[in-house]
A and B are shown apart, each in its own frame.
Chain A
Amino acid sequence: MLARNKAAGLAQAAGGGGPRLRSPLRRLFVKGTSDGQTESGLKRAHFKEWRLPFWLLAPQLFILLLFFFIPSIRALIQAFQLTDPFGATTQWVGFQNFERLFRSNVYWSSAQVTLIFTIAQNVLTLSLALLLAFASNHILRGRGAYRTVLLLPYAIAPAIAGIMLAFLFNPRVGPVAHMLQGMGLDWDPNRNSWHALALVVMAASWKHICYNYIFLVAALMSVPQSILESAYLDGAGPIQRFLRISLPMIAPTLFFLIVINFVYGLFETFAIVDATTRGGPAGATSILVYKVYQDGFVTLDLGSSAAQSVVLMALALLLTFAQFRFVERRVNYSV
C-alpha cells in the first residue's frame, strides 16, 4: 500500500493525471505507447526486454550478492557445523548448535535483555524526540540554531557516544555519577545490572533522538497551517492542537519511526554496547546482536555465532512481515 501510494504520489508530482514518465526512457518502460492505462506509475510499467533492466539492477544486485547473499549462505552453512577457528577441522553437527542455543539460559536472558532494551530505547527516543520537535516548532527566535544543536549528536560516532557516557557515568571518576551519588543514589553500573541497562538505553537513545527528530520536525511542518489556525480560532491551546491535530496527522511518520527504532535497537546498537558496557556486568547488557559478535569474534565459537545470526535474521524477516501484514493497515496514510 505504501509503495503504491508513493508511486502514485510520484506520478502525480511528475505529471498530474495520466501516465507519468516523461523521460526519453519512457518508451522502454511502458508497454505500448497508449496513454489509456488506468493504473499509474512504475508499478504497472513493463520492460520490453531484459537487458536494460538487468544492467540497471546489476550494481545493486552485485552488492547484495557480495555483502548479503554470500555471507548469509555461509552463515547458514556454518550454523550446522562445529569448526576450528583456523578452519583446520570442520564437523557437520546438524542442529546441535541450535539445540545448544535454545537450551542455554544465557541466550534466553540475552533475549529478555534485548526485549527490555529495545522497548525502553524506543519509548525514550520517540517521546523525547517528539517533545523536542514540538518545542522547537513553537520557538520563533533562533529556531534554526536550536535545530542544528539538536542534530549534532547524530554526527558523533556511536563508539564515541558510548565511551563518553561510560566516562560520565563511571562510578569512580564520572561527574554525572558523582552527582547521582550525591543525591543519595548508589549509582554503579558495574555492580548493578539495571544501572548498566539504563546506561546503554541512554546511550542508544541519545544517539538516535536526532534521527527521530529530523523526521518529526519535517512531519510537523507538513501539517496544514489552515487546520491549525482554525483550531486556534476555535480556542484550542498549543498542547490541545498538538494532541488533537498534529499528532494524528503525523501518525504514519510515528509508525515508521517505531519500526526504524526497533530495527536500530535490534541490529545497530552493537558499537554502543561495546563501548559503554561490553555487554556486562554478567551479561546484563548483552543484547542479541552483541552476543553474536562476542561469541563469534571474541570467543571464536563460530558455530553458535552463526546459529545466532540465523535466528536474528529470521527475527528480522518476521518483524518486516508483521509490519506490513498487520500493523500498517491500521495507520492512515491519506494525509
Chain B
Amino acid sequence: MALAPPEPARATGTVAATRVGAGTPPGHRATPRPGRTRPGRRRLLTRGSVPYLLIMPAVLGFAIFKAYPIAASFWISLTTGNGDARQFTGLANYRRLMDDPLFWTALRNTALILVVQVPLMLGLALLVALGLNSTKVWLRPLWRLGVFVPSLTGLVAAGVMFSVILNRDAGLLNWVLSFLGIDPVNWLGSPFWARVGVVLVITWHYTGYNAVMYLAGLQGIPKELYEAAMVDGAGPVRRFFSITLPQLRPILLLTVVLSTIGTLQLFDEPYVLTGGGPDNATLTVTMYLYNNGFKYFDFGYASALAYALALIVSVLGILQVRLMGERR
C-alpha cells in the first residue's frame, strides 16, 4: 500500500493543474517518470482528475441510492401523515413503537430465530468445513459442490419449495421422518414448529456458503503451526482450540456479523413460508416494517421501524467486533 504524502494541489479537473502543483516536495514529481525513480519503491499514481472520473459513477450512485435514502428515512421517521400531508411530529413514531406489542412480538421472534439459527448454522458449517478439509475424505469436490448449491437458490424459490416439503400431510420431510418412526409434525401450522421450520430453511440455505468460507480459512492456516504443535505433543482437540479457532478468527467474525445482519433483516422466508403466522409467531421486524410501509402506507412509522432495526444491527455488529476482533 503506497503511503501518499498529502496531495500537492487540489484537483481542479485538469491533469495539468495538479502536475505542476505548488507545494510538491522537492525532487518528487507528482507524475512519476518511470526509470528515474528508485527501483522497488512504489510510486504514486497521482494523475490529477483520473481517479475522480473513475469514482464518479460510484459517488453519484452512492449519493442517490445510499446517502440520500439513509438521511431521508430518518427525516420521514420524524413525521406522521400520508403523502404530502405529512407533518413533523418529532419522536412520536418512536414512542408509538415502544408501546406497540406487535413490534415487540416481531423483535422477540427475530431475536429468537437469531439466537438459535446463527450458532446452529455456523457450528454446522464449521463441522462441514473441517470434514471437507480432511485429506482422508474421498470425493471432496463433489461434497463441496453439493453443500454450496442451496446458497445459489433464491429465497422465494427456496421458500416455495419448502412450503410443500414441510407440508404436514404430504411433505417430503414428514415422509422421511416416518421411516424413523416419528409422527407427522405440523411444521407450518403451529407457532413453535413454524419457527423451527423457518430456522431449518435458513440453515439449509446458508450453511454450505459459510462452510466454503471456513474451508478457505482452514486452507490458509500454515501447516507448520500444526507440525510444531504435534512436536510439542498437542492432541487433536488441543490443536483445534489453540491453532484452528484462533487462526479462523477473522473469518469467523466476518460470518458472524454477516449472518447476524442477514437474520435481523429476515423477510423473504417467512413471507413465502408462513406469511408471518401462525398467530404472528414468525412475524419478523422487516416483515412488520413492510406491512406498515407498503400495505398500510404508514411511511413515518415504517421508517422509525427501519431506524430501530438499523440501530440494533449496528450495536450488535459493534459488540461482535469488540468481542471477537483482534486485540491489539
Partners in one complex: no
